Structures are given as structure tokens and as C-alpha cells.
A and B are shown apart, each in its own frame.
Chain A
């Protein structure tokens, strides 16, 4: 069964609004979660590493003020896309691994965001 739950699965919003995506680890505690973005027919791109109790680490080129990450508990990380624009339309996926750093990443089901 799923070990990482992501919500919502899809969302359509208007330009200028903000959208919050939740990622939960269901049966384990995740001090670290990862947020990815994937455009059609392209590879997964790591946006940021979410750290419980501290600030997220953003990859180069990702605007931290636009993509707000909060990792308030050991089982929940949220990504908020602020002032969304059509170019933010994409497939956003969170992931976490249990325990050791070389344990497999388990992915949420992803959120398809469409900004009109």
C-alpha cells in the first residue's frame, strides 16, 4: 500500500492565486521529504529538500519566496505555490524515504496543477 500520501491529486486555479499541496508519510516518520516538478516528457527535477523543524534547501533556480515549503511535523510537509502563473502548471511530486539515506524513495501520487 501507499506509504506517502499527497493531496490534492489535481487542482485548477486562476492566475495570481496560491495553491497548497500536502505530503504525508503514512507509516513512518520522515525528517526529510523531497519536492519534485516534472514537465511533460521531461525528467524529474528536484525543487527542494524539506527538513523537519528547519528551513528547506532549495535547488538552484527555484524561487524560495514563490514555492513555500513548511515541514511542521515528522509526517507532514506542505508546498505552497504563491501567486501562481500559467508557467507554474506542472506535475508536482513529493517523496520520502524510510530510515537510511540509501533506502528507496517512495513517492506520493503527485499533484497536477493547471493555472489558467
Chain B
């Protein structure tokens, strides 16, 4: 596809359940980013990959959050033992090679933890 895609678009989870969110970046994009967007707020950085290497995970809020990009393309954000405060939109973005190139966002996955 031409843009960044994310699945599922919506996810309802019971508290304590594990969830996995998928991101398909733009083909050939080296960099991939995950953001968390709470209601009424801007996106907050979670983690960043360059190819398969996770270069920055400083934004992950707890050790329940784990991200991977094993082949340098598709990425998965996993949240273990979900809590209600994890409810948010999770956005994925990808970027080409140069640092100052624009990040292109997917539509996001809206996670609701009950």
C-alpha cells in the first residue's frame, strides 16, 4: 500500500489481557516510530526503530510495553497485562532515510481497556 497501515483499528481488552498492535510502514522506510495519544492530547513518543534495531525506547511507560521489528519492516507493539490507563490511540509512523524527513502516520489503533 501507499501509506502506513495499522491493525486492528479498534481493540477492546479486558484488564489484565495481553494485546498486540501491528504496524506496516511505508515500503522502504528505514525508521519507524510508535506514539501513544491520550484523549485530548498530542501524540507522545514511545519508541523508535532504525531498521530492526530499537534505538530508543525511553518513552515506553512501563516494562509491560514491548516493541519489536525483527525484519526491519513490520513492527508489533505488545502490551502485557493491560490496565485501564493504557486506553489510548496508538499511532505508528515511518520515515525515510534522512533525519529531517517527515514522519508519515498510520490511522492508529484505538485501544480501550475495560
**Binding between chains A and B:** no
